[in-house]
Amino acid sequence: MPSRDEKTVGLILVTYQSAEDLPPFLESIDAAVEPLTLDVIGVDNTSTDASADIIEEFGGRVIRNRENVGLAAAINQGAAATDAEWILVANPDTQLAPGSIAALVETAKSDDRIGMIGPRIARLDGTPYPSGRRFPSLAIGVVHAFLGAVWPGNPATRAYFGDPVDSVSDVDWISGCCMLFRREAFDAVGGFDTRYFLYFEETKMALDMHRAGWRVVFDPSVEIRHREGGSMRSAPFRKIRSHHRSALRFYCDYHRGSPWLLFAPLVAAGLVARGAASVLRTAISQRLRR
């Protein structure tokens, strides 16, 4: 195990059918972390491709799960396997710019209260991918859920994504495709909430950070690239179900102890309707591709 100090970054790389994305990601990681030390921990959730082998060939250690335990639980497995002071969680479908992770560490070191930090994100074509978002109110969440896909510029979606910022800023939550954690903060909140099998796990983690008194920070001076939609290539229907189930769970967790919790049945009904529409769109898209 590497010594726990501020010069070690533990990369937790959760894989599921990720062999296509891993080579360009791994090619970018050393330059992104330098001059810091890198400790790579792969956690494979029953891939049938070469995902785990690719990480081992790169020099990382791999935990090969016998069943798919979900993203949150897998991240916690990886974090427990490294003694690094900084914990980096990044999706295999991201590409990290040289110096990007080292820069996030420097920003995090500027205040001991920063527990969670993320970079500005762009799609592969350079267009912005929203991060540094707000926790949505019920009204904003409903309008965004039903109009976001067909009218991306609607007022609710703009409010949910938040106003663009050009300096290090406190935010409600950051995109889970690239997150850096201070080990002390990660351990203080007990890691990720394993009730979240997939989706909203980063949102719940940010909520836990806020409630425990840690800062959640967005650093727009650091940019990475993200292959949007890459995570939906395998088992899309199961992921639609997981997304909507996690959305309801987060609504209940966020409004714990609040009168807004009484609206949970209505939120559930709306998510069922939205999930059915998502399944239909996905089925039509798959048929057209064939």
Does 192 have pLDDT greater than 70?
Answer: yes
- Burial of 50: CB neighbours in 10 Å, binned 0-12, 13-18, 19+: middle
Task: Note the pTM of the prediction, 2 decimals.
Answer: 0.93
Q: Can you give the pLDDT at residue 91?
A: 96
Taking the C-alpha atoms of residue 116 and residue 172, their distance in angstroms, rounded to an integer, is: 11
Kindly state whether residue 268 falls inside one of the protein's structural domains. Answer: no
Q: Please report, to the nearest 10 degrees, the dihedral formed by the alpha carbons of residues 145, 147, 149, 150 taken in order.
A: 160
CATH assignment of the domain containing 176:
3.90.550.10
CB atoms within 10 A of CB 63: 18
pLDDT in tens, 197-229: 999 999 999 999 999 999 999 999 999 999 976
pLDDT at position 168 is 97
Q: How many domains does the chain have?
A: 1
pLDDT at 4: 57
Q: What per-residue confidence (pLDDT) applies to 101? A: 98
pLDDT class for 289, splitting at 50, 70, 90? confident
What value, to the nearest 5°, has the Cα angle with vertex 245 and ends 240 and 248?
130
**Range in 16-20, 148-152, 251-255 with the lowest mean pLDDT:** 148-152
User: CA triplet 103, 105, 111: central angle to 5 degrees?
Assistant: 115
Angle at 88 between CA 169 and CA 238, to 5 degrees: 100
pLDDT tens for each residue of 21-77: 999 999 999 999 999 999 999 999 999 999 999 999 999 999 999 999 999 999 999
Q: Per-residue pLDDT averaged across 99-127, rounded? A: 97
DSSP class of residue 201 equals H
pLDDT at position 3: 44
pLDDT beyond 60 at 232:
no
Q: Is 26 among the domain residues?
A: yes
Q: Where are the beta strands (DSSP E) in 110-257?
A: 114-123, 128-129, 169-170, 178-182, 215-226
264 within some domain:
no
- Tell me the C-alpha distance between 170 and 107, whole Å: 12
The average pLDDT across 9-16 equals: 98
Mean pLDDT for the chain? 93
From 8-22, 165-179, 191-205, 274-288, the region with the lowest mean pLDDT: 274-288
Domain that holds residue 204: 8-229
Mean pLDDT of 91-109: 97
Residue 244 belongs to some domain of the structure: no
pLDDT-derived band at 149, boundaries 50, 70, 90: confident
What CA–CA distance (Å, rounded) separates 22 from 265? Answer: 40
Q: Are 155 and 140 in contact (CB under 8 A)?
A: no
Q: Indicate whether 289 belongs to any domain.
A: no
Q: Residue 150: its pLDDT value, please? A: 87
